[in-house]
Structure 1
Amino acid sequence: MKETYRSALLNLTENPKYTDLSRWRLRVKEGAQTWHYLTEEEVKTWPQTAADRYFLGLPSDAPELPKAKTPIEAAKKGFEFYKRLQTEDGHWAGEYGGPMFMVPGLIISHYITGTPVPDHERLEIIRYLLNRAHPDDGGWGLHIEGHSTVFITALTYVALRILGLGADHPALIKARGTLHKMGGATGAPAWGKFWLCAMGLYEWEGMNPVPPELWVLPNFLPIHPGKWWVHTRMVYLPMGYIYAKKLRPEPTDFIHDLRREIYVQPYESIDWNAQRNNIAKEDLYMPHTKLIDFIDEILVYYMKVPLSVNKLRQYALDATVDLIRMEDENTFFLDIGPVNKVLNWLVCYYHYGKESREFKEHVRRNADFMWLGPLWDTAFVAQACCEAGFADEAKNIPAMRKALEFLDDCQIKRNVPDIDKCYRHVSLGAWPFSTRDQGYTVSDCTAEGLKSVLQLQKLSQMPKLVNDDRLKQAVDVLLTMQNSDGGFASYERIRGPQWLEWLNPAEVFGDIMIEYSYPECTTAVLLGLSSFKKTFPDYRRAEIDEVSRKAVQYIRKKQRPDGSWFGSWAICFTYAALFSLDSLASVGDTYETCEHSRRGCDFLISKQQADGGWGELYKSCETGVYCQHPQSQVVQTAWACLALMSAKYPHKEPIKRGIELIMSRQQANGEWLQEGIEGVFNRNCMISYPNYKFSFTIWALGRYARLYGNE
């Protein structure tokens, strides 16, 4: 069968001519951010903003400012630059970068559905993927700082071929060589095998089963997907539909070419059943247990029962489609994240067709996940400016007012329909990680949104946009989210038993099967409730006090013998120390009064580097052991200084040295440059939070000035 997908026929052997970066514009509306490539005429009426130029890496017109001589001057200088990056709707945008498995799935879905990638996007995705290749071997890793893996090298190779690069392009020759050295695409982990199957580049017999029947099990069973962590269940929901129906396009000349390119033996000679548990050593992070391998062996035979006679499977597929429909409608076709968004798009393509409203809505909203600016960053910088004491300065009031307007708009103002049927947590009054349309409650985002609004609305020149009832609704949500151990998880309470991790099928991620309590989320909620009761001392006070008491107990209990806490949402022990010491300080537990606080501070001090800064490598997240970064990092230095100051560490000198390092890295225009990656999820995948180098540095400098004066 001849190939008809236009860009797959290009077979470029050289890099294409990329777009003119001066013609890109970021459009923002209610937190949603989409990039637009303008015609020469449109450019004349829509000028680039400072934020546009910054994100595109174009020269900044930010003026050089006098060198800061004191911490508060450095904080103000940093905010002078950072204000320029605030978008017109009031939030601070940022690239949702780091993980490398999201873009290939999007491009493969474009190919399967026959949806062209617009040329301007296609060219820039090529540029991005080539720039993210490993500098030594030319492959791609799970995240931008990781080593090359079969999973991402194979999928990125396929994506670049779809986007127009030929097999003889130098970058693909190099990447193919690396892929072959790792044993070829048969060694991809489960998610890699799925995407290759979906495109017809791997046989379904070589993938462990994803039975949709799990969704129609009785809800009380502990293995029901409704008990899983929300991201996991929402990925495996559409994956099960596609797997059960063995959906894939008809093989074309292009697909046959790829089959020859990504394997180390002829495609027809591969024993597919033997590949189900073949995971390359470069990829394997979380090996299967014997239990899941045993269950998979049974399911392999069950899944051979034809769909035409398996009434349970048809019933399960109908239930799956209904749950996907609810997820799409409840999130306005954004879905909880980029992975399940493109999988749901594929299901809509096969189930409803290309002319359906569902398919077209997915296409329309694809652009939203090419860029993401979370509420998270806006909440942090608002709090940083308030604590530093310059949020209410006349020149900063417009920025703070815009931030409050965004926080007002972003708060979720409804519970979704059929909330129990689609396994959702209550959301009325919550704040999400990203946009209100996406609409998922997140515990720490709700708490940080609440804290930010409370602080901003105390400023004398600030309107009261979020009324008392809505603030109370946020607290109502938080009070539903505490786990039995006293801690708080991310999206909802823990629903399933921990032994469900024995059934983790993903091989490359850890701790994905259920929710967990986290020191970071627990601290955010604790501090949010503490801020709230200062303004509303009588509202549900007994419940708030009891929840807070249990939260502090959880923080104390999670401390390791060496004084550290393990962080799960950023790197790693340094980040967790920031939150945990904040928790203790909120109830008066400081270095002088509390052993937990003292041991936490001593742990941080033991990790301070020779230049006065702190730097922790992402390997800490993978190994569970503190790993020093070769170079101190301004973000982690800010975290450590903030933590020590919260705990009232009695020796100023280590903190002062950290502050001096932050000041020394500040550029003449007020900015700080990007250093190492900051965030993590599921132990093994890092994620960028590029705004942290502004919000936390400003926060640390401002707190130092408030506590120690303007030295």
Structure 2
Amino acid sequence: MDLDTITAPVVEDPALLDAISRATDALMRHQKPDGHFVFELEADATIPAEYVLLEHFLDRIDADLQARIGVYLRAIQGQHGGWPLFHDGAFNVSASVKAYFALKAIGDDPDAAHMRRARDAILAAGGAERTNVFTRAQLALFQAVPWRAVPVMPLEIMHLPLWFPFHLSKVSYWSRTVMVPLLVLMALRPKARNPRGIGIPELFRTPPDQVTDWIRGPYRSAWGRFFKGVDVALRVAEPLLPKASRRSAIDKAVAFVTERLNGEDGLGAIYPAIANSVMMFDALGYPADHPNAAIAWQSVRRLLVTEPDRAYCQPCLSPVWDTSLAGHALAEAGVATEAACDWLRPLQITDVVGDWAVRRPDLRPGGWAFQYNNPHYPDVDDTAVVGLLLHRNGHPAHIGAIERAREWIIGMQSSDRGPMDGGWGAFEPENTHYYLNHIPFADHGALLDPPTADVSARCVSFLAQIGMADDDPVMQRAVSYLRREQEADGSWFGRWGTNYIYGTWSVLCALNAVGLAHSDPAITRALEWLVSVQRDDGGWGEDEDSYGDAPHGRYKTSTPSQTAWAVLGLMAAGATDHPATARGIAYLADAQKADGEWTEAAYTAVGFPRVFYLRYHGYKMYFPLLALARYRNLRRGNASRTEFGI
């Protein structure tokens, strides 16, 4: 059957129209007076636990706030006794050690039932000595382990030239902003004030002062063995490095951080980097009221979500992402988006040359960041989604911003002439020095920002929607990259959303925007895969464990956001009238609550695969609305192809 030729009778289903109306009203209730949207962004226990420990490091303990964070941490403790990396996930030793440490610092009795359960689970998993590098560094600051339990990362890294195999520009933006202030801390080795003298020796199976086995990453390779040897050599050499070199390295690190402080949005606008900058300034002797130290502390506090009975700390804020995606949902529902577009347009970064310019020195800036303010680190994903919305809005005032975004996105396309050629990484081009993922410090395996199918698809969607021809070399290289990235089962990997459902939806939207025939084998294979993983209730769901060994596109329950992505993917593949699409729409309508919103406990987004996951509280609202409204619009217009790239 040729899906491009399908037409369907116009069916105005009152229940569908009511679901769209209630979802629209629900989303609009969250719009700020100035037109933007920002929803809570939740990670796992590590961020609120680290915030508690930060207050103890500084001796700035807010007892009432910490009590409420304690309520939050206890509530998300797993049945296994520890803390997972995502809702209902498996035990994670690093998250569990941090959560236990934080609760003990808050004042929980180690003999309380929940603390005993956590301690037993941690010890059964090998003890606190089996935690990851970042946890080890946190423990070292509190003298819970010696610094030799942490891989060597000399501060003199700041002096390395661009041609050197390790250079800060060769790691991702998030690694760079976290690493620079942490290097200062690792050099100075400050001791947490820790006014209550809290320690966690009971979590170790090996006496803490004997912990030296810190190797946890992918070190069974030749590169891993090489870097293990480098670490051994550096442990001998580091104390012999000239003091003058260290002082100048500190100066470079402080200058790097200071240039990127971002006001109340903080270094890199992400919690780990901001918290490290707070501790760095403190370790360097900056008084709390010094402008740099004060604004860094204020930027941490800005991430707190405080409710009457609980509190937690977010990893960052997501206003540009939320506003642009909510805008697409409202536009599909027929609601004017002028207020959202008017808020977004001035946030385009045109006057700051960010870190991406190391490899694109002649490219004019023109992107948007994810957060309120992060001018050194715009990303092409946000830029494409905002550009799509501005173009869809159609106001003449947006033309210049769209053109500037087009220029920047094209300039950021990968040109490594290898398997990643034609794709896009999120923040920087050619960030593909894969050997660095084998250094001991990179046991999280997320040091880099290589091109990915989901980000590349969004760039393709934007360029196609604004009129780039499919035979343009930029587009040809991009589509070739997407074809190469398709999995054997027909799906695409999703780097920033969970997971193959997200990636497949993203690429199908891009291929639809390019005008690829719906009979193309890449599209038909993806369509067949999406249909094959639909659940019995008509919805779709996917476990975060699909970043490991779990099956692609499958979970024990359906979720509103992932169902919406699957339905949007089916419609992008020309299957608006497919029974699977109708069943997905029915699931969304049935799962909607009376107030027009949806419930979604599962985490459906990603910071770092296998390491750090996210729950966007807005996903369960704007993605179902986008799917429901698009379904209505395509059927109403007897259309098999949407004209929009998302």
Give the TM-score, by structure 1 length. Answer: 0.79
| 1:637-687 residue CA offsets vs partner (Å, 9 max, x unmatched) | 211111111111375211111111111111122111124211113211221
Whether 1:159 and 2:159 are equivalent positions in the alignment is: no
Spell out, residue by residue over 1:285-321, the C-alpha distance to the aligned partner (whole angstroms, 9 max, x if none).
Answer: 887822322222222212233x6x4443333233222
| Aligned twin of 1:552 | 479
Which whole-Å CA distance do the structure 2 matches of 1:163 and 1:443 have between them? 41
2:423/2:478 contact within 8 Å kept = yes
1:567-598 Cα distance to aligned partner (Å, 9 max, x none): 11111111111011111112222332x11111
Contact 2:350 2:364 in 1 (8 A): yes
Q: Distance in 2 between matches of 1:417 and 1:653?
A: 47
Match of 1:49 in 2: none
For 2:228, the equivalent position in structure 1 comes to 293
> SS at 1:686's partner residue?
strand
Is residue 196 of structure 1 aligned with residue 139 of structure 2? yes
Letter paired with 1:493: P
Question: What's 1:240 paired with?
Answer: 183
TM-score by length of 2: 0.87
Shift of 1:160: 1.9
Q: 2:214 is matched by which residue type in structure 1? A: R
- Secondary structure at the residue paired with 2:441? coil
Residue 566 in structure 1 maps to residue 500 in structure 2: no
Q: Deviations over 1:192-220 (max 9, x none)?
A: 10000012211112211122222211112
Instruction: Write out per-residue CA displacement over residues 475-503 of structure 1, whole angstroms, 9 at most, x where no aligned residue.
Output: 22212210021011101112343232232
Q: C-alpha separation between the residues in 1 aligned to 2:57 and 2:303?
A: 19
**Structure 2 CA distance, aligned partners of 1:634 and 1:643?**
14
- Asked if 1:344 is matched to 2:282, the reply is no
Q: Pairwise mapping of residues 487-526 of structure 1 onto structure 2 (< 5 A)?
A: 487-503=423-439, 505-507=441-443, 509-510=444-445, 512-526=446-460
Structure 1 residue 445, shift from structure 2 partner: 0.2
Matched position secondary structure for 1:176: helix
Letter in 2 for 1:645: M
One-letter code of the match for 1:506? A
Task: State which of 629, 634, 638 in structure 1 corresponds to 2:564.
Answer: 638
Q: Tell me if the contact between 2:606 and 2:614 (Cα under 8 Å) persists in the aligned partners.
A: yes
Equivalent residue for 1:209? 152
How far apart, CA to CA, are the structure 1 residues paired with 2:499 and 2:325? 18
**CA gap 1:521/1:504 in 2 versus in 1, 3 angstroms:** farther
Alignment match, 1:474? 405
Contact 2:329 2:625 in 1 (8 A): yes
Q: What residue identity is the alignment partner of 2:429? A: R
Q: Does the 8 A contact of 1:185 with 1:262 survive in 2?
A: yes
Contact kept in structure 1, 2:498 and 2:604, CA below 8 Å: yes
Deviation at 1:552, TM superposition (A): 1.3
1:668 alignment counterpart = 594
Give the counterpart letter for 1:91 in structure 2. H
Equivalent residue of 1:610, what SS? coil
Equivalence map 1:217-616=2 (5 Å) = 217-249=160-192, 254-255=197-198, 258-264=199-205, 267=208, 270-272=209-211, 274-277=212-215, 279=216, 289-305=224-240, 309-328=242-261, 333-354=266-287, 355-370=289-304, 371=314, 372-388=317-333, 390-391=334-335, 397=336, 400-416=337-353, 428-437=365-374, 440-458=377-395, 466-484=397-415, 485-503=421-439, 505-507=441-443, 509-510=444-445, 512-533=446-467, 545-592=472-519, 594-616=520-542
Return the letter of the residue paired with 1:688: R
Distance 1:599 1:678, change over 3 A: same
Deviation at 1:174, TM superposition (A): 2.6
Give the superposition deviation at 1:259: 4.1
Given the alignment, which residue of 597, 603, 623 partners 2:549?
623
Which of the residues 137, 142, 145 maps onto 2:85?
142
The two structures, once aligned, show a CA RMSD in angstroms of 2.9
- TM-aligned CA distance change 1:602 to 1:217, over 3 Å: same
Find the partner of 1:111 among 46, 56, 70: 56
Distance 1:653 1:419 in 2: 45
Instruction: After superposition, give the CA deviation of every residue in 1:58-108 in whole Å (9 maximum; x if it has no partner).
Output: xxxxxxxxx983433322221111211222232222222123322222222
Q: Measure, in 2, the Cα distance between the counterparts of 1:332 and 1:704.
A: 38
Distance 1:264 1:220 in 2: 43
**Is the Cα–Cα contact under 8 Å of residues 336 and 438 in structure 1 kept in the other structure?**
no
Which of 65, 84, 100 lines up with 2:29 in the alignment? 84
Instruction: Report SS of the residue matched to 1:688.
Output: strand
The aligned counterpart of 1:647 is 573
CA deviations on 1:86-135 (whole Å, 9 max, x unpaired) are 22232222222123322222222222222233x4422321111111111x
Deviation at 1:630, TM superposition (A): 1.2
The one-letter amino acid paired with 1:468 is: I
Secondary structure of the 1:681 match is strand
Contact 2:227 2:439 in 1 (8 A): yes
Which secondary structure does the structure 2 equivalent of 1:680 belong to?
strand
Please report how far the alpha carbon of residue 629 of structure 1 lies from its aligned counterpart in structure 2 after TM superposition: 0.8
CA distance in 2, matches of 1:368, 1:652: 46
Partner amino acid, structure 1, of 2:18: E
> Contact 1:70 / 1:710 at 8 angstroms: preserved in 2?
no
Correspondence for 1:122: 66
Residue aligning to 1:28: none
Q: How many angstroms does 1:229 deviate by?
A: 1.2
